[in-house]
Amino acid sequence: MMLKQTLIKAAETGAAVMQSYFNGKFEISNKEGINNLVTEADHASEKAIFEVIKNDFPDHYILSEEAGEIIQDSTYKWIIDPIDGTVNFANGIPICCVSIGVEQAGKMILGAVYNPFMKEFFFAQRGFGATLNSKKIQVSTKTEVVKSSMVTGFPYTYLDAPNGPLQVFEKLIRKGVPVRRLGSAAIDLCWVAAGRFDGFYEHQLQAWDSAAGFLMVEEAGGKVTDFKGNYYSPYQPHIIATNGLIHDELLAIVNGGEVHMK
């Protein structure tokens, strides 16, 4: 499948560019330079990814964090985050990745998330499961939120909304549920798919943050919805992704319910 080969090559190419900018290159810059360099790295990774895609599929639609939309009359759409976890990247924290999802006629069919610093390449194809470095992965088997390991992210807005990020976080933390915040939604989702986390929720995501990762969770046997419990669309902001077994309970908590102690 040429589409699959192109996707893998695009992710690897973007990651190589990202690695070339990582660390050393930041220390000599002033503050403004650091931010510019991130932008430079983001754009350089994006440009390299685009070149791979356009070489093989010049007529495909592209949606990318930096460039926005490159609209084409095609049923195929590539959804790209050239560096997910930019703040981590800028600070030399190796929790960042390239994330690319491929949609066909409105349905996500392929996803790749590559963190070259941890040498972890996650890949999913609809109907064929999800893999980490070519080995099949599966979601966890925890059945209660109180015994689960969670991951989330905090948007810069919405913090004080009712049942907002801080309230949900506090509710879980007060009941002793470990909640992590890694700074890369794409990695969060892949780690749910790999069974490292039992659940992930976030109040404000963009399509490029979740396009590849949500397919990863589904293909690893998990469940992904919006906050109403409806089938997930990356074009709306809310996400709950779990092993499936704690999904309804986490959904209720995010919507104002309490954490049940068994």
Q: Is residue 153 part of a domain?
A: yes
Which DSSP string do the residues of the chain spell out, in sequence order?
A: -HHHHHHHHHHHHHHHHHHHHSSGGGTTS-HHHHHHHHHHHHHHHHHHHHHHHHHH-TT-EEEETTTEEE--S-SEEEEEEEEE-HHHHHTT-S--EEEEEEEETTEEEEEEEEETTTTEEEEEETTTEEEETTEE--------GGG--EEE---SS-TTSTT-HHHHHHHHHHTT--EE--S-HHHHHHHHHTTS-SEEEES---HHHHHHHHHHHHHTT-EEE-TTSPBP-TTSS-EEEE-SSSHHHHHHHHTTPPPPP-
Same domain flag for 8 and 130: yes
Q: Give the CATH number for residue 76.
A: 3.30.540.10
Q: Is residue 67 part of a domain?
A: yes
State yes or no: pLDDT of 193 exceeds 70: yes
Q: Residue 129 in contact with residue 217, Cβ under 8 Å?
A: no
> Which residue, of 100, 117, 136, is where some domain finishes?
136
Contacts of 56 (CB under 8 A, 6+ apart): 2, 6
Interval 208-230: pLDDT, tens: 999 999 999 999 999 999 999 99
Contacts of 96 (CB under 8 A, 6+ apart): 18, 83, 84, 85, 86, 88, 89, 115, 117, 183, 184, 187
**Domain with 99 in it:** 2-136
Residue of 215, 209, 196 whose CA lies nearest to 238: 209
State yes or no: pLDDT of 27 exceeds 50: no
Q: Is residue 49 part of a domain?
A: yes
Q: Residue 144 in contact with residue 249, Cβ under 8 Å?
A: yes
> Which residue, of 113, 136, 159, is where some domain finishes?
136
d(CA 19, CA 23): 8
Q: Is residue 226 part of a domain?
A: yes
Same domain flag for 118 and 172: no
Interval 119-164: pLDDT, tens: 999 999 999 999 999 999 999 999 999 999 999 999 877 667 788 8
For position 66, what pLDDT does the model report?
87
For position 38, what pLDDT does the model report?
67
Same domain flag for 183 and 245: yes
Single pTM value for the model: 0.94
Same domain flag for 190 and 114: no
> Which residue, of 93, 113, 136, is where some domain finishes?
136
State yes or no: pLDDT of 30 exceeds 80: no
Per the prediction, the chain carries an average pLDDT of 93
Same domain flag for 132 and 196: no
